[in-house]
Amino acid sequence: MNFQLIQFFTMEKTLDKTVSIKAFLLTLSLIFISSITLSLLKTSHSRFSLPLPFPFPSSSEKKCDVFTGKWVPHPQGPYYSNETCRLIVDQQNCIKFGRPDTEFMKWRWKPHDCELPLFDAAQFLEIVRGKSMAFVGDSVGRNQMESLVCLLAHEAYPLDISRNSSADVNYFKRWFYADYNFTLAAFWSPFLVKSGGAHINGHSINGLISLYLDEPDKAWTNEIEKFDYVIVSVGQWFFRPLLFYEAGRLLGCHICNQNNITSVSKYYAYKMAFRTAFRTLLSLKNYTGMTFLRTFLASHFENGDWDKGGNCPRTKPFTSNEVKLQEFNKEFYWVQVEELREAEEKGKKIGLTFELMNTTEIMWMRPDGHPNGYGHSMIKNASVYDCVHWCLPGPIDTLNEFLLYLMKKDVLRQLKAKLMRNA
């Protein structure tokens, strides 16, 4: 333990610019390394415990924007296969259903000014020991959770405890890592806000869905307070025909084909959905978790829409600027980033952390990462052209490299804050 503390203080030194803080921390280090460290750092408010399970980031990483970079070849290939992770669902098990090319699994994200560390399952599990994590949103969020389960698979397999908390076990998935007392959950809430009307469960494909833009969806908010990490992401469902309500009154609709109802843009609805979701997290008395916004992932249908014969047959990433992200996708991105920034400011005042997982552009570069025709739908036992979800293994694994990176940054930030407070 002492070794790790020494490592912390020596690394910490390089992180800080001002000489006074440097000197301050050095002095502290001499005091702390004696004996009182554990009791000091392990208070009940701590979201982590010592010894620290990972080396500290170098000073260059602190300045670096990990989200600006490019995809580079990674011939070592993916972390797992459909044989070493036995929990890949058919919808994303592209290799099982005969996808012939493998290059899409052999890239990694390289930030311009630093490295995005490879995913380290042991590190991840140490950080989340005794904690819980929730993915809130639609099936792409669940897709990321399933990637995480596979990334952890060579260290630990979870128990499926979905039935303990929900009857809808495909949409409300829950895993428990007994050796780590770690709970991982997916909350199905494709709009984040209350939805219903004619289509109560929101699973309806073509029907008109009512959204109550200022009322959070209890499907996730009822239980979210106890979670330590919450990853929020939604998107594709906002392209559907929707009716919008605010303060209980009909506000308007999006492509509802009723000329007596005002047309309201999907961007407005998207903005309000995030505002309501973040506002709810900010207002929950017992919520102390760290919130991530994983930004919108655009679909890659070419040669037609998803329901008009579109597909995504590419086998390589786009090279820079080869195909621009469409304006409507950018608009979704900006709208949610604005809401996140807003929540971040408010969160700071009450000690809640909101983090941007800025992955829209990064994943836009990866049209090669989808099942296309090589996945089987959860409902129908047949292949569908899927250019929304992502093959496992595949580029979506990178999102969890970002997740772990941000979690580590937060552990460090908390440790620093605690040291300052106790000085």
Ligand X SMILES: *[C@@H]1O[C@H](CO)[C@@H](O)[C@H](O)[C@H]1NC(C)=O
Is 378 among the residues that bind ligand X (CB under 6 A)? no
Residue with Cβ nearer ligand X (71 or 171): 71
Span interacting with ligand X, options 13-21, 46-54, 92-100, 134-142, rule CB under 6 A: 92-100
Residue 217 corresponds to which tokens in the numbers above? 């969806």
Q: Which of 50, 156, 256, 261 binds ligand X (CB under 6 A)?
A: 261
Unique residue bearing structure tokens 């929900």: 166
Which residue type sits at 412?
Answer: L
Q: Which of 72, 89, 76 is nearest to 389 (CA)?
A: 89
Strands 290-294 and 229-233, by their bridges, are: parallel
Residue 76 or 320: which CB sits closer to ligand X?
A: 320
> Quick check: 286 binds ligand X (CB under 6 A)?
yes
Answer yes or no whether residue 372 interacts with ligand X by CB under 6 A. no
The residue from 34, 39, 76, 260 that contacts ligand X (CB under 6 A) is 260
Q: Does 336 bind ligand X (CB under 6 A)?
A: no
If binding is defined by CB under 6 A, does position 93 make contact with ligand X?
Answer: yes
Task: Report 61-80 residues binding ligand X (CB under 6 A).
Answer: 67-68
Sign of CA dihedral 206, 295, 353, 160: positive
Q: Please answer whether residues 297 and 235 qualify as being in contact, where contact means their C-beta atoms are separated by less than 8 angstroms.
A: yes
**Best CA proximity match to 389, nearest among 300, 293, 325:** 300
Q: Which is nearer to ligand X, 161 or 282 (CB)?
A: 161
Question: Of residues 164-203, which lie at the interface with ligand X (CB under 6 A)?
Answer: 164, 176, 181
| Residues binding ligand X: number (CB under 6 A) | 26
Greatest Cα pair distance in the chain = 75
Sole binder of ligand X in the list 210, 291, 358, 372 (CB under 6 A): 358
If binding is defined by CB under 6 A, does position 206 make contact with ligand X?
A: no
40 binds ligand X per the rule CB under 6 A: no
Query: Is 361 an interacting residue with respect to ligand X (CB under 6 A)?
Result: yes
Identified binder of ligand X from the candidate list 2, 43, 84, 258, rule CB under 6 A: 258
Q: Which residues of 65-95 are buried (b: 16+ CB within 10 A; e: fewer)?
A: ebbebebeeeeeebbbebeebebbbebbbbb
Residue 131 lies near ligand X (rule: CB under 6 A): yes
Rounded distance between C-alpha atoms, residue 342 and residue 231, angstroms = 17
Rule CB under 6 A: choose which of 15, 64, 66, 95 binds ligand X: 95
Output 22 or 96, the one with its CB closest to ligand X: 96
Nearest one of 188, 269, 180, 272 to 223, comparing CA atoms: 188
Asked whether position 280 contacts ligand X by CB under 6 A, the answer is no
Using DSSP's 3-state secondary structure scheme, residue 372 falls into: strand
Q: Binding to ligand X (CB under 6 A): which residues in 101-130?
A: 130
* Identity of the residue, 80 or 119, whose beta carbon is nearer to ligand X in the bound complex: 80
Is 293 exposed, middle or buried, given 0-12, 13-18 or 19+ CB atoms closer than 10 A? buried
Does 22 help bind ligand X (rule: CB under 6 A)?
A: no
Q: How far is the CB of 230 from ligand X (least distance, A)?
A: 14
CA angle 165, 167, 169 (to 5 degrees): 85
Provide, rounded to whole angstroms, the least separation between the CB of residue 22 and ligand X: 29
Phi/psi for 116 (5° steps) reads: -90, 115
Contacts of 411-420 with CB under 8 Å at 24 or more apart are 411/47, 411/48, 411/52, 411/127, 412/56, 412/57, 413/353, 414/46, 414/47, 414/48, 415/8, 415/41, 415/48, 415/52, 416/12, 418/40, 418/41, 418/43, 418/46, 419/25, 419/28
| Interface with ligand X, residue 319, by CB under 6 A | no
- Which H helix or E strand runs over 237? none
**Residues annotated as catalytic (active site), given as ranges:** 139, 386, 389
Determine which residue in the list 132, 189, 372, 400 makes contact with ligand X, applying CB under 6 A: 132
Residues that bind ligand X (CB under 6 A): 67-68, 82-83, 86, 93, 95-96, 130-132, 161, 164, 176, 181, 250, 258, 260-261, 285-286, 337, 358, 361-362, 381
